Amino acid sequence: MGDMIELGGDARGYLAVPDTGAGPGVLVLQEWWGLNPQMKGTADHLADNGFVALAPDLYRGELAGHDEMDKAGQLMTTLPSDRAAADMSVAVDHLLDLDAAAGSSIGALGFCMGGLMTLLIAALRPEVGAAVPFYGFPTGDEPDWTTMQAVVRGHFCENDDFFPSSAARDLERRLQTMGKDVQITFHNEGHAFMNETDPFGIYNAELAAELWPQVFAFLHEQLS
């Protein structure tokens, strides 16, 4: 459905537009594998449900296969944080400037590393009005949360070896104490339960089918 587009400089992304030609803009943020076909398919899924979806290529062409976890980890840990922030920010600007993307705010959604990035860009850009992080959040240096305007509805795992639920609950509590509209639902699942390509053998198709309509309804409500 979508196409790779230039965002400026060396930044690129995958843009998917609904058949209607317009809809709320949503930033789609990749897992640690990179902007692979599954992530492009997620952008297409959003477009099928009425959103203008843009997935920036944060690795700028690099990819890791599901049998290359060491490479995925290396790509994630060596990703320059300032470059990632800049690429996400230029993607936000692109969505805000698109005639097809209705409204003055956009949404952000991501999984694993992309969940972390979803919260980061929401903190960096108050134009992000709605954020849906899946099983990922900053575990080291945190951004300045004070300017975050997004309503956050996260979906995390009780059994997560990468992003512990205890730390996620602590972050949720601290953000709520700051007056942020943040709610995280903790599912009795392991990491990557939403990924239909099933890299870790724990994809829960029934739960994914239940959650996607909730995500779409939340984004439409917040961004309309």
* Residue 160 bears catalytic tag: yes
Instruction: Residue 125: name the closest of 153, 99, 144, 100 by CA.
Output: 144
The partner residues of 77 in beta bridges, in order of sequence, read: none
Instruction: Give, in degrees to the nearest 5, the angle at Cα 96 between 19 and 89.
Output: 120
* Residue 94 bears catalytic tag: no
Query: Given 45, 94, 160, 187, which residue is catalytic?
Result: 160
Residues in the chain: 224
Enumerate residues 6+ apart whose C-beta is below 8 A from 106.
24, 25, 26, 27, 92, 95, 96, 127, 128, 129, 223
Q: Report how far residue 138's alpha carbon sits from residue 21's, in angstroms, rounded to the nearest whole number.
A: 35
* Residue 155 bears catalytic tag: no
Q: Report how far residue 151's alpha carbon sits from residue 5's, in angstroms, rounded to the nearest whole number.
A: 28
Q: Kindly list the distances between the CA atom of residue 72 and the CA atoms of 49, 101, 186, 193, in Å, as whole numbers in the listed order.
A: 30, 32, 25, 18
128 within 8 A of 108, measured Cβ to Cβ: yes
Query: Given 45, 94, 155, 191, which residue is catalytic?
Result: 191
Instruction: Residue 98: name the closest of 19, 29, 26 by CA.
Output: 26
Query: Given 57, 112, 155, 157, which residue is catalytic?
Result: 112
Enumerate residues 6+ apart whose C-beta is below 8 A from 205.
196
> Which residues form the catalytic set?
112, 160, 191
